[in-house]
């Protein structure tokens, strides 16, 4: 891997200044913006939906990396596309028909991603890799930001990387979300991730550019050891 993508999680931003926060992470060198959409049913929290995404879309050309934590996700794919999402990652546990959701995402011209709760075996995701653009490994229980990193989830990252290489999926993005920062980025990179979602590790700091590059550098250094 020659590049480590950084996707700051908007959930950790100052919601009173979303436009400014978006501009700041873009100027800091972020590769994409991670947007968590929660319904209060699949996860015990509610965040934001299509109107916020559509408003932000008017202010930026960044890749909008949308992670939906909602039940029956296929119902929302058309709306997300209209709002300006570039990629949609959904939970296998929430979809009665995983293949149909992937097909709908692709039909609307977006990248398709799939993820699991920490307690769901990675083997349930592996068969879908040839049809995915992105595989997300959650290192916290989805629903709330600021949780502690679960290092045992790196085994899932490694399993996905091995299977992706075996299947010949070199373009697959393997993303890690939850508790990612300077101290945990190296473990993610060493395990085979090539995209890191960071929330408070970036938005909670004074210098977004310095934090973004520090996280990226730590992950890349682990890869090159």
Q: Reduced to 3 states, what is the DSSP secondary structure of residue 65? A: strand
State yes or no: is 36 an active-site residue.
yes
β-strand pairing of 111-116 with 87-91 = parallel
Q: Classify residue 147 by its DSSP letter.
A: P
Neighbours of 214 (CB within 10 A): 17
- Which residues, in sequence order, are bridge partners of residue 64? 33
Cα(first)–Cα(last) distance of the chain, in Å? 12
How far is the C-alpha of 205 from the C-alpha of 225, rounded, in Å?
28
Which one is catalytic: 31, 36, 39, 86? 36
What tokens does 82 get? Answer: 């209209």
Indicate which residue of 65, 86, 133, 177 is catalytic: 177
Please state whether beta strands 195-198 and 63-69 pair in parallel, antiparallel, or not at all (unpaired).
unpaired
* Residue 177 annotated in active site: yes
Per-residue tokens: 111: 């990248």
Catalytic residues: 36, 177
């Amino acid at each position: 891997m020659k590049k480590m993508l950084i996707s700051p999680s908007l959930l950790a931003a100052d919601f009173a200044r979303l436009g400014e926060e978006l501009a700041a992470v873009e100027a800091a060198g972020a590769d994409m913006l991670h947007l968590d959409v929660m319904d209060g049913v699949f996860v015990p929290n509610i965040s934001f939906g299509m109107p916020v995404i559509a408003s932000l879309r008017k202010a930026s050309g960044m890749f909008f990396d949308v992670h939906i934590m909602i039940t029956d996700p296929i119902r929302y794919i058309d709306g997300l596309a209209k709002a300006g999402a570039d990629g949609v990652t959904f939970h296998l546990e929430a979809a009665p028909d995983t293949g149909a959701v992937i097909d709908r995402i692709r039909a609307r011209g977006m990248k398709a991603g799939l993820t699991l709760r920490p307690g769901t075996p990675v083997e349930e995701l592996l068969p879908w890799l040839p049809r995915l653009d992105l595989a997300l490994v959650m290192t916290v229980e989805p629903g709330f930001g600021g949780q502690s990193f679960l290092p045992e989830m790196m085994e899932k990252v490694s399993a996905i990387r091995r299977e992706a290489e075996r299947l010949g999926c070199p373009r697959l993005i393997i993303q890690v979300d939850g508790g990612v920062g300077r101290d945990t980025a190296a473990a993610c990179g060493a395990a085979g991730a090539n995209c890191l979602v960071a929330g408070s590790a970036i938005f909670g700091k004074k210098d977004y550019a310095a934090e973004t590059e520090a996280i990226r550098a730590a992950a890349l250094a682990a890869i090159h050891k």
